[in-house]
Amino acid sequence: MYWLTEGYIALRDFMESGGPVLWYIALLVTFMWALILERVYYFLFQHDEFAENIRKRYYAMKFNTPWHKFQSKTRLISEGKLSINRNIQLIAVCIALCPLFGLMGTVTGMIEVFQVMAFTGGGDARSMAGGVSKATLPTMAGMVSSLSGVLAMIWVKNQVEEKELLMGDYVTGYSKRGGNQ
């Protein structure tokens, strides 16, 4: 239990020394990782069931002409691709915003440094240190947050590409393990 208290104190001190922008970065990262984890959960646990449901819907349909069959298959493939790509663009936006929020923290921290320099004439290094901390910590937090999102997004994008390529096979019941099911 001691480690939990120490962790809380360390996090609180970090957030205070980085300024209010760190809270915005923390909110953005929490939102971004919620979206990433939703996609991971979908690909690991829900996608196969979704694909099987699409296949069942395709085989339950009655087609009058080959054109109707083709159009129905195309529609189901599109539904599958929409499900696969859900929230991908929003995750990419969050990844891009993380360093920008860090830059905003840099600017606000440097403004604080310049204000201290204006009042003290630049001779009070201790007062300027707080502003420098508020300038560098958000930058680091934004970059690390963005990097963690990029690394997770590599796996998610690979899953998206793989599942999109196989969507037509999912609809018709053909699997890469061989043959019709």
Per-residue pLDDT of the chain (181 residues; tens, 9 = 90+): 889 999 999 888 888 888 889 999 999 999 999 999 999 999 999 999 999 999 999 989 888 899 998 999 999 999 999 999 999 999 999 999 999 999 998 898 888 888 877 877 766 677 677 778 788 999 999 999 999 999 999 999 999 999 998 888 878 776 554 444 4
The Cα 63–Cα 43 span in angstroms is 31
The Cα 17–Cα 121 span in angstroms is 23
Residues facing residue 180 across a β-bridge: 174
The token pair at 71 is 């159009």
Q: Which helix (H) or strand (E) holds 68?
A: helix 66-84
Give Cβ neighbours of residue 80 (< 8 Å, ≥ 6 apart). Answer: 50, 51, 54, 163, 167, 170, 171
pTM of the model: 0.84
Helix axes 21-41, 2-18, angle to 10 degrees: 120
Domain edges within the chain: 2-168
DSSP state of 180: B
